[in-house]
Amino acid sequence: MTILLFTVIFAALNRRLSIRKIKNRGIKLCGSLFFTPSLLYSFLKNMIKKSVLFLLIISFFAACGNKPANTQNASLTDSLELKYAEGFAVRYFENYKEVIVYSPWQKGSIYARYYLVNDAATPTPTDGTKVLIPLKTLAATSVTHFEFLSLLGELETINAVCSPKIIYNSEINKRIAEGKISDLGDAFNINVEKTLQLKPNAVMMSGYNQNDPYAQRVSQAQIPVIFNNEWMETSLLARAEWIKFVAAFYDKEQVADSVFADVDKRYNAIKAKAAGVSKQPNIMSGSNFRGTWYMPSGRNFMGKLFADAGSKYFYANDTTAGSLPLHIETVLKNFSQTDVWLNCNFNSLNELIQADSKHALFRPVALKQVYNFNKRLLPSTANDFWESAVARPDLLLADVIAILHPELLPGYELVYAEQLK
């Protein structure tokens, strides 16, 4: 429209110049009607002015009417600063926030996009899901999301969860008992009908499958599905920084910045203590499960935890994503003479040996230097290690350093770890 307007004005000005050239001539129009040069000039000049004014008015209203379509070109005002996390981004525009979740499997590609608004009538681009914020109700389908919500002071917004038996948080369990939080069933088989009846402002779930049938049906019912993929980050601090992702949906970015800055500061202060140790104990991790032993790679967040704690780990330089499936014979070959066994999945040495007599061949068993992360374990099997430790890696690192280098943290009481007896 702007280009057309300037074209018309330019043509009109050219016409005006042409008219001036015929000021001394007379022109006969419509048979007997004769225009003197000055009269014709005045007539055309007046018509040009009216035409330009008319086009300006039309252009103004056309621009106003097209505003929603121009949201794709809205001006970016700011972006959320991230120090470690790579799986999401938050960008700020004049009337909305854009939250992007990147694909865990294809670097650089977008897994999900959200446009966060404080007014449902706010126009947004059409290539993402509009979410009205701050959220008042949320169906949280993974226990890894709870501590983020707790630190943000938003636990009360949870109105539905999955698998209550594996939930450790006492406040959530209390609200479940009071009937304030509904059970949506298993996280891998969520009750769609119950979700639709509850009508939460949004559902937050881990993005294991973008084409998840549950997510598709809920989205079709105009309930936003928020994919929280913190589990795919490769460091504990990167996972913890996803509190900023959750905070964006509550307009609490400043709270999240403050909370995470404290966690980051404590983590690195504790890490610095272990950086200068003269002796690094050799460690092993995990346990044999149905013939397969899963060991974290050096790229895995647990592998990086071991490095930050000042230890020697056989697979420290392995860049495989996730964990390494190993046969017990391979583990015996590489780890039988280690000093400490961490993250063992048993609760006592007797239970460990009864599960597989080959476990007794590992040196840490004889030294009684075997630890699990089950100190905060409820009879229901709910384990706070899987819940709050995601947001508090500083506490988890302190546990491991206290085990490997007790002289660095005298008098420290383990939070998640426990020694097998």
pLDDT surpassing 50 at residue 306:
yes
For residue 78, the model assigns a pLDDT of: 94
Lowest mean pLDDT among 33-47, 180-194, 280-294, 314-328: 33-47
| Pairing, β 182-183 against β 158-161 | parallel
Packing angle of the helix pair 2-20, 37-65 (nearest 10 deg): 180
For residue 276, the model assigns a pLDDT of: 86
pLDDT surpassing 90 at residue 235:
yes
- CA distance readout (Å), 112 to 42, 127, 210, 220, 227: 62, 10, 9, 15, 7
For residue 63, the model assigns a pLDDT of: 42
pLDDT surpassing 80 at residue 318:
yes
For residue 33, the model assigns a pLDDT of: 41
- CA distance readout (Å), 159 to 42, 139, 143, 202: 75, 6, 14, 10
pLDDT digits (tens, 9 = 90+) for 4-51: 444 433 344 344 434 344 344 444 444 434 444 454 445 445 544 544
pTM value is 0.82
Lowest mean pLDDT among 56-65, 129-138, 150-159, 249-258: 56-65
Q: Which of 301, 304, 149 is nearest to 239 (CA)?
A: 301
Residue 105: pLDDT band by 50, 70, 90 thresholds? confident
Q: In what order do the strands lie in the sheet with 129-132?
A: 76-79, 88-93, 97-102, 110-117, 129-132
Question: Phi, psi at residue 341, to the nearest 5°?
Answer: -110, 115
Mean pLDDT of the chain: 86
Residue 224 near residue 131 (C-beta atoms within 8 A): yes
pLDDT surpassing 70 at residue 350:
yes
Report the distance separating Cα 66 and Cα 56, nearest Å: 15
For residue 44, the model assigns a pLDDT of: 41
Residue 403 near residue 412 (C-beta atoms within 8 A): no
For residue 51, count other CB atoms closer than 10 A to its CB. 14
pLDDT digits (tens, 9 = 90+) for 124-160: 999 999 999 999 999 999 999 999 999 999 999 999 9
Token digits for 13?
Answer: 């000005």
Cα radius of gyration (the chain): 33
Residue 138 near residue 205 (C-beta atoms within 8 A): no
For residue 210, the model assigns a pLDDT of: 64
Lowest mean pLDDT among 42-51, 122-131, 169-178, 364-373: 42-51
